[in-house]
Amino acid sequence: MNENRRFDTRAVHAGERHGRPDRTPDGGGDFYPISTPIYASTTFSHPDVQTTDRVLGGEEPGYSYARYDNPTVRAFESAVGALEGLRGEARAFAFGSGMAATHAALAAAELADGATALAAEQLYGSTATLLVQVFGANGVETRFFDAYDLGEVEKKVAESKPRAVMVETISNPLLRVADVAGLAEITRAFGAALIVDNTFGTPYLQRPLDLGADIVVHSATKYLSGHGDITAGVVVAKPPYDAAVESIRKLVGGVLGPFEAWLAHRGLKTLPLRMERQCKNAREIAARLSGHPRVSKVNHPSLEDHPDRKTAGRVLSDTGGLVSFELAVEPGRGREAAFGFLNALDLCVKAPSLGDVYTLAIHPATSSHRELSPSRRERLGVGENLIRLSVGIEHPDDVMDDLEQALDRF
């Protein structure tokens, strides 16, 4: 794919085999599929065993076994890589879920007995649990840090000498914005791998590899596929981490299935259109919620009082499609009020995900951050009265009408 073509064009065409012929099974002639087919085959044969030997040995490109690779999966990976701005030997790898992708990315950074990982305090709850429980059981120490204070970051990295540093482009659910370029400068100086979860950002808002990150992770379940119909994950890695990710995926068998890859690739083609509308809708809804008497606080990078507004202007191309806000309630009524508000919604879908074409609303304290202790949630600012919205592509007036009627009823 021509790297000079604009993002919107790459989203439509990347990964496809336009102009490359297939051949009819009866040998009747060439034909040209404009969409990569679903290759639902567990194994692939070759003209001779010598070719099979070379493919299995990595001496010749090709496909042999579905746990290793698949043409439909590779098409989706190529498309994501083109959007993330891959250069040289770096490659994208598709997994069966975002958490499987995150696990592989952390393992590729050689997190093993005696190693230390640094993780942003503002991190998806399951990622924090993965580090503490799964990697912790294997002798890895995880230390949490304030990713938005570069002075503290440098001090923590110098003290702990971590193998990996994990942050999110935009944090969940308070929507803090990391200075990835500044973080990369620090981690590079100390030889640590910088892993960036770009699920909330997507390549539309930011390409972390261009800012110095070593590994990028996506839950492709969210914005990349965008329609709430598949579960998938992607790791995009530079050398030497790309080889480790590929080896881990082959051995553990976390590769994405061909049908899911086909759906994800199809969804990816409309990413620029969806993100443009979602970002615009989120800005409008955040501004209108800020003036509502039953809302005490709104989090969105477009707002004047957002702590990372200037950082967002430097590192993001737009302000994102997520909004979170706190209901104005007396102490002790947070969960009751949040549940009452959510149950009063009619248009917005009450579901624990994000990045879909429809607006989704959740209660982070009992969904994304459920696994964290109440004290840690409180320290992170994830209160019982906090609501997170993943704004969809509906008309913003209809979404706002629904939010307002629910705010009047909780």
214 touches 196 (CB < 8 A): no
| Residue 254 neighbours by CB under 8 Å, 6+ apart | 95, 96, 97, 100, 101, 103, 104, 248
Tens-level pLDDT at each residue, the chain (410 residues): 566 789 999 999 999 976 566 665 666 667 778 889 999 999 999 999 999 999 999 899 999 999 999 999 999 999 999 999 876 667 999 999 999 999 999 999 999 889 999 999 988 888 999 999 999 999 999 999 999 999 999 999 999 999 999 999 999 999 999 999 999 999 999 999 999 999 999 999 999 999 999 999 999 999 999 999 999 999 999 999 999 999 999 999 999 999 999 999 999 999 999 999 999 999 999 999 999 999 999 999 999 999 999 999 999 999 999 999 999 999 999 999 999 999 999 999 999 899 999 999 999 999 888 877 888 888 888 999 999 999 999 999 999 999 999 999 98
Q: Are 247 and 385 members of one domain?
A: no
One of 69, 179, 197, 308 is an active-site residue; which one?
197
Which helix H or strand E contains 311, and what residues bound it? helix 309-315
Edge-to-edge order in the sheet of strand 322-327: 295-299, 322-327, 386-390, 360-362, 349-350
Query: What does the alpha-carbon distance between residue 328 and residue 250 come to, in Å, rounded to a whole number?
Result: 50
Q: Are 248 and 308 members of one domain?
A: no
- Residue 200, pLDDT score: 97
CATH number at residue 381: 3.90.1150.10
- Residue 26, pLDDT score: 62
111: Cα separation from own chain's centroid: 21
Number of Cβ within a 10 Å radius of residue 66:
18
One of 5, 17, 54, 67 is an active-site residue; which one?
67
| Number of compact structural domains in the chain | 2
Residue 67 among the catalytic residues: yes
One of 63, 124, 148, 241 is an active-site residue; which one?
124
Q: Are 260 and 284 members of one domain?
A: no
pTM attached to this predicted model: 0.93
Q: Are 221 and 310 members of one domain?
A: no
Residue 197 among the catalytic residues: yes
One of 156, 163, 207, 222 is an active-site residue; which one?
222
**Both tokens assigned to 31:** 């034909």
Phi–psi pair at 177, nearest 5 degrees: -115, 120
Number of Cβ within a 10 Å radius of residue 117:
25
In a domain, 2, yes or no: no
**Both tokens assigned to 292:** 């509502």
Q: Are 237 and 303 members of one domain?
A: no
- Residue 362, pLDDT score: 96
In a domain, 168, yes or no: yes
- Residue 145, pLDDT score: 95
In a domain, 1, yes or no: no
Q: Are 264 and 316 members of one domain?
A: no
Q: Are 251 and 388 members of one domain?
A: no
**Both tokens assigned to 340:** 């009452």
Residue 222 among the catalytic residues: yes
Task: Provide the residue range defining the domain that includes 83.
Answer: 7-268
326 touches 297 (CB < 8 A): yes
CATH number at residue 165: 3.40.640.10
Q: Are 257 and 317 members of one domain?
A: no
72 touches 258 (CB < 8 A): yes
Query: What does the alpha-carbon distance between residue 166 and residue 142 come to, in Å, rounded to a whole number?
Result: 10
